[in-house]
Amino acid sequence: MRTFSSYSEALSCVGQEVAVTDWITITQQQIQLFADATGDQQWIHVDAERAASGPFGTPIAHGFLTLSLLPQFFDGAFAFAGARLGVNYGLNRVRFPAPVPVGSRLRARMTLQQAERIEPDGLQMAWAVTIEREGSERPVCVAESLIQSYGAPH
């Protein structure tokens, strides 16, 4: 994990890959819990028997489940010393170029694309996030994520 001592330090990293996270494993239980929470019970996600004869040969994670891992990846990637609050401000672009079969191991690569100070004491950042699946050449999610941080030293 990278800890920034100030917003100025983060500003100096614009255009650079800042973090590569640890791997996490996607389980069928996690997929089912996401399906239950969102109401998306499509068989390709939750019916292992039917999914075995489907296009991927196994259940796959919801694209939005993969996207919902962004906060976990951010928490493990970087922090601002002294910040009192971090806020998910939104997304500009999201794509799911490849599936996430159950049992996949995922990690994120994070590049700081833009950063600007916001009032009264914050920093807004645009992060290019590429979520990779172990053993796959294609990413499973590519997103531009907007994050705001408040209260760290300038």
Are residues 30 and 65 in contact, defined by beta-carbon separation less than 8 angstroms? yes
Residue 125 lies in a domain: yes
Residue 56 lies in a domain: no
Nearest to 31 by CA among 96, 135, 107, 103: 103
pLDDT in tens, 80-126: 999 999 999 999 999 999 999 999 999 999 999 999 999 889 999 99
Percent of the chain with pLDDT over 70: 100
Are residues 149 and 53 in contact, defined by beta-carbon separation less than 8 angstroms? no
pTM for this predicted structure: 0.94
Give me the residues paired with residue 131 across strands. 108, 141
Residue 15 lies in a domain: yes
Residue owning tokens 């999610």 = 141
Q: Which residue has the higher pLDDT, 50 or 152?
A: 50
Domain range for 98: 2-25+62-150
Q: Which residues contact 148 (CB under 8 A, 6 or more apart)?
A: 86, 87, 89, 118, 122, 123, 124, 125
Measured at the CA of 119, the angle between CA 10 and CA 2, to 5 degrees, comes to 20
CATH number, domain of 95, equals 3.10.129.10
Total domains present in the chain: 1
